[in-house]
Amino acid sequence: MAANSVESAESITPSHGARSHGHVVDILGRIKDQLDSLSPAERKVGAAVLTDVPHAVEDSIASLAQRAGVSEPSVTRFCRAIGCQGVRDFKLKLAQSLVVGELYLNADAAPDAADSDAPAYWGPILSEAHGALREVERQLSPSKVQRAAEAVAGARQVVTFGLGGSAAILAEEAQYRLFRYGVNVACCPEAYFMRMTAATLGSEDVVLAISASGKTAELIEAVSLARGYGATTIAVTATASPLADAVDHPLTVAVAETHDTLTPTSVRFAYLAVVDLLSAATGYTLGPKARESLRRIKYAALNHRSGNMLEPLGD
């Protein structure tokens, strides 16, 4: 068997060099960072790889060398120059980077511009936001929201859980919404503190967990721990997700995501709407208590600031 064929066959076999200190190496990022410091021949190899990453994963040494216009030893030197043990190790790392980042490699093209003065991304972003809100209206059951709100209104304390990205921000937003109604509420946006907090809860307490994927292991473990100690659990999350299955009151919405990697995720509009619906339902359930709490907050705010303009009631 030719050496090039052996190299191609071996490239699909995992090696101990495929991981560094327990994590997958981002070889694409390494190539981009080191490209200017490589020799001219090695730069050609790097440019050929970045131009067509899926093709480079399948290439033999000879094929990659031909595409780059260099010798086969230059390909091997390139692999070692960027910290790989050889071509096999390089191709394994490249395949692993491709699994995570393929969506971002060929996403330079902007969406088609509409027939208006607005930039091309304007319409799609607003359209995605409108669509997310329509999905909440279509999918979410008012009775489910009401039952969850009754649990919140009757709780000794409420703890909101959210990890990373928009989930942590929405967990804080839920805290800000609920405290105005006089609810004793705290936010835990950190995994270890979340777990410790869960261990202190009991049957009079409520956990509100938020997760776009519904698959975050640390979040699910903390929720399950709190539920094991008797706390009532609520989740704002994806439909048919592990988190939805792990709680007493799943408030779920499925929202299709855009493939434009430069635009924000639209699901956060949906989850913010769910948080607002749950908060408003809690306020209506509490009734006079919630109104008195809001009155005190507004009274304190007006006395602190000059002027007599009444700010939005929800803020």
**Residue-wise pLDDT tens digits, 184-214:** 999 999 999 999 999 999 999 999 999 999 9
The whole-number pLDDT of residue 215 equals: 94
pLDDT on residue 301: 76
Compute the distance between CA of residue 88 and CA of residue 7 in angstroms, rounded to an integer. Answer: 6
Q: What is the pLDDT of residue 4?
A: 41
| CA 206/CA 174 separation, integer angstroms | 13
Instruction: Check whether 22 has a pLDDT greater than 60.
Output: no
pLDDT band, residue 315 (cuts 50/70/90): low
* Mean pLDDT, rounded, of the chain: 85
Q: Of 108-117, 151-160, 270-279, where does mean pLDDT reach its minimum?
A: 108-117
pLDDT of residue 300: 80
* Cβ atoms 98, 57 nearer than 8 A: yes
Percent of the chain with pLDDT over 70: 82
* C-alpha dist (Å) from residue 226 to 111, 154, 213: 45, 17, 20
Q: What is the pLDDT of residues 246-302, one digit of tens each?
A: 999 999 999 887 767 777 888 999 999 999 999 999 999 999 999 999 988 888 877
Collect all residues with Cβ–Cβ distance below 8 Å to 150 and sequence separation of at least 6.
285
pLDDT of residue 279: 97
Residues 6+ apart with CB under 8 A from 123: 114, 116
Asked whether residue 103 carries a pLDDT value surpassing 70, the answer given is no
**Tens of pLDDT, residues 64-94:** 999 999 999 999 999 999 999 999 898 888 8
Query: For position 234, what pLDDT does the model report?
Result: 98
**b/e code 249-277 from CB counts within 10 Å (16+ = b):** bbbbbebeebebeeeebbbbbbbbbbbeb
The residue with greater pLDDT, 182 or 109, is 182
Percentage of the chain exceeding pLDDT 90: 58
Cβ-based neighbours of 143, under 8 Å, separated by 6 or more: none
pTM exceeds 0.75 for this model: no
